[in-house]
Amino acid sequence: MIRNNEELVEPNALDRVTWALRRAELAVQALKEQRLRPLGLAASHYTLLMSVHSDPGLTGAELARRLNVTPQAVASLVARLESRGQLERREHPRHRHVQELHLTDAGREVLRAADKVIAGIELQITGGLGPQESAQLRGLLDRVAETVRED
Protein backbone atom coordinates (compact mmCIF):
# COMPACT_ATOMS: atom_id res chain seq x y z
CA MET A 1 0.00 0.00 0.00
CA ILE A 2 1.56 3.20 -1.17
CA ARG A 3 0.78 6.30 0.80
CA ASN A 4 0.98 9.18 -1.57
CA ASN A 5 1.55 11.73 1.13
CA GLU A 6 4.77 10.11 2.11
CA GLU A 7 6.09 9.73 -1.38
CA LEU A 8 5.78 13.10 -3.00
CA VAL A 9 6.96 15.32 -0.21
CA GLU A 10 8.61 15.08 3.14
CA PRO A 11 6.60 12.79 5.40
CA ASN A 12 6.09 15.26 8.23
CA ALA A 13 5.34 18.22 6.04
CA LEU A 14 2.37 19.26 8.13
CA ASP A 15 3.99 19.51 11.52
CA ARG A 16 7.04 21.50 10.69
CA VAL A 17 8.35 24.21 12.92
CA THR A 18 7.65 26.79 10.24
CA TRP A 19 4.01 25.73 10.11
CA ALA A 20 3.63 25.95 13.84
CA LEU A 21 5.31 29.32 13.72
CA ARG A 22 2.95 30.56 11.05
CA ARG A 23 -0.16 29.29 12.81
CA ALA A 24 0.84 30.88 16.10
CA GLU A 25 1.72 34.21 14.52
CA LEU A 26 -1.50 34.23 12.50
CA ALA A 27 -3.60 33.56 15.58
CA VAL A 28 -1.84 36.19 17.67
CA GLN A 29 -2.07 38.76 14.91
CA ALA A 30 -5.76 38.07 14.42
CA LEU A 31 -6.40 38.54 18.13
CA LYS A 32 -4.45 41.80 18.16
CA GLU A 33 -6.41 43.08 15.21
CA GLN A 34 -9.68 42.12 16.84
CA ARG A 35 -8.99 43.79 20.17
CA LEU A 36 -7.42 46.88 18.66
CA ARG A 37 -10.39 47.54 16.41
CA PRO A 38 -12.48 49.27 19.12
CA LEU A 39 -9.69 51.84 19.39
CA GLY A 40 -9.87 52.54 15.66
CA LEU A 41 -6.36 51.24 15.28
CA ALA A 42 -5.00 48.50 13.07
CA ALA A 43 -2.14 46.38 14.29
CA SER A 44 0.14 48.03 11.78
CA HIS A 45 -0.78 51.43 13.21
CA TYR A 46 0.11 50.27 16.67
CA THR A 47 3.43 48.88 15.51
CA LEU A 48 4.27 52.13 13.78
CA LEU A 49 3.34 54.27 16.76
CA MET A 50 5.31 52.03 19.07
CA SER A 51 8.37 52.25 16.85
CA VAL A 52 8.19 56.03 16.72
CA HIS A 53 7.71 56.14 20.45
CA SER A 54 10.71 53.92 20.96
CA ASP A 55 12.90 56.01 18.67
CA PRO A 56 11.51 59.52 18.25
CA GLY A 57 12.60 61.41 15.18
CA LEU A 58 12.70 58.31 13.02
CA THR A 59 12.50 58.85 9.27
CA GLY A 60 9.99 57.12 7.08
CA ALA A 61 12.61 55.15 5.19
CA GLU A 62 14.26 53.88 8.33
CA LEU A 63 10.87 52.93 9.68
CA ALA A 64 10.08 51.05 6.49
CA ARG A 65 13.24 48.99 6.87
CA ARG A 66 12.45 48.08 10.45
CA LEU A 67 8.90 47.06 9.72
CA ASN A 68 9.85 45.13 6.59
CA VAL A 69 7.56 47.11 4.33
CA THR A 70 8.07 49.62 1.55
CA PRO A 71 8.41 53.37 2.18
CA GLN A 72 5.06 53.87 0.43
CA ALA A 73 3.26 51.69 2.89
CA VAL A 74 4.77 53.71 5.72
CA ALA A 75 3.83 56.95 4.01
CA SER A 76 0.26 55.74 3.72
CA LEU A 77 0.07 54.86 7.40
CA VAL A 78 1.78 58.08 8.43
CA ALA A 79 -0.62 60.14 6.35
CA ARG A 80 -3.57 58.54 8.07
CA LEU A 81 -2.16 58.90 11.56
CA GLU A 82 -1.16 62.47 10.83
CA SER A 83 -4.65 63.34 9.63
CA ARG A 84 -5.93 62.07 12.96
CA GLY A 85 -3.46 64.26 14.81
CA GLN A 86 -1.68 61.31 16.39
CA LEU A 87 1.58 61.69 14.53
CA GLU A 88 3.60 64.69 13.46
CA ARG A 89 6.04 65.26 10.62
CA ARG A 90 8.83 67.70 11.39
CA GLU A 91 11.61 68.97 9.19
CA HIS A 92 14.93 67.30 9.80
CA PRO A 93 17.42 69.77 11.30
CA ARG A 94 20.16 68.88 8.81
CA HIS A 95 18.45 67.44 5.78
CA ARG A 96 15.71 69.74 4.67
CA HIS A 97 14.15 67.15 2.42
CA VAL A 98 13.96 64.54 5.17
CA GLN A 99 11.22 64.61 7.76
CA GLU A 100 11.33 63.30 11.27
CA LEU A 101 8.38 61.54 12.84
CA HIS A 102 7.17 62.41 16.31
CA LEU A 103 4.19 61.44 18.41
CA THR A 104 1.66 64.07 19.39
CA ASP A 105 -0.08 64.09 22.75
CA ALA A 106 -3.08 62.42 21.17
CA GLY A 107 -0.75 59.85 19.68
CA ARG A 108 0.78 59.11 23.05
CA GLU A 109 -2.68 58.79 24.51
CA VAL A 110 -3.97 56.29 21.98
CA LEU A 111 -0.68 54.40 22.14
CA ARG A 112 -1.04 54.08 25.88
CA ALA A 113 -4.50 52.60 25.47
CA ALA A 114 -3.38 50.32 22.67
CA ASP A 115 -0.40 49.10 24.60
CA LYS A 116 -2.62 48.10 27.46
CA VAL A 117 -4.50 45.89 25.04
CA ILE A 118 -1.31 44.37 23.67
CA ALA A 119 0.11 43.89 27.14
CA GLY A 120 -3.07 42.04 27.99
CA ILE A 121 -2.56 39.64 25.13
CA GLU A 122 1.06 39.19 26.13
CA LEU A 123 -0.04 38.41 29.66
CA GLN A 124 -2.58 35.93 28.37
CA ILE A 125 0.17 34.10 26.55
CA THR A 126 2.87 34.24 29.19
CA GLY A 127 0.28 33.35 31.81
CA GLY A 128 -0.62 30.22 29.93
CA LEU A 129 3.01 29.27 29.50
CA GLY A 130 4.56 30.35 32.76
CA PRO A 131 7.56 32.63 33.14
CA GLN A 132 10.22 30.03 32.51
CA GLU A 133 8.79 28.67 29.31
CA SER A 134 7.95 32.16 28.11
CA ALA A 135 11.58 33.18 28.38
CA GLN A 136 12.56 29.95 26.72
CA LEU A 137 10.19 30.56 23.83
CA ARG A 138 11.45 34.09 23.36
CA GLY A 139 15.02 32.86 23.27
CA LEU A 140 14.24 30.15 20.75
CA LEU A 141 12.37 32.56 18.51
CA ASP A 142 15.26 35.00 18.56
CA ARG A 143 17.61 32.23 17.57
CA VAL A 144 15.32 31.22 14.73
CA ALA A 145 15.23 34.78 13.45
CA GLU A 146 18.99 35.00 13.71
CA THR A 147 19.53 31.69 11.92
CA VAL A 148 17.27 32.60 9.07
CA ARG A 149 18.51 36.14 8.64
CA GLU A 150 22.01 34.90 7.79
CA ASP A 151 21.72 34.15 4.13
Residues in contact with DNA by the rule CB under 7 A: 44, 59-62, 68-73, 75-77, 80, 94-99
Q: Which residues lie near a copy of itself (CB under 8 A)?
A: 5, 8-10, 13-18, 20-32, 50, 53-54, 68, 108, 111-112, 115, 118-119, 121-122, 124-126, 128-129, 133-134, 136-138, 140-145, 147-149, 151
What's the full length of the chain, in residues? 151
Give me the sign of the Cα torsion angle 17, 20, 22, 28: negative
Closer residue to a copy of itself in complex, CB, 79/113 = 113
**Helix, strand, coil shares, percent, the chain, to 5:** 70, 10, 20
Ordered alpha helix ranges (H), 55-130 = 60-67, 71-83, 105-129
Complex with DNA: residue 3 or 94, whichever CB lies closer: 94
Nearer to a copy of itself, 61 or 140 (CB): 140
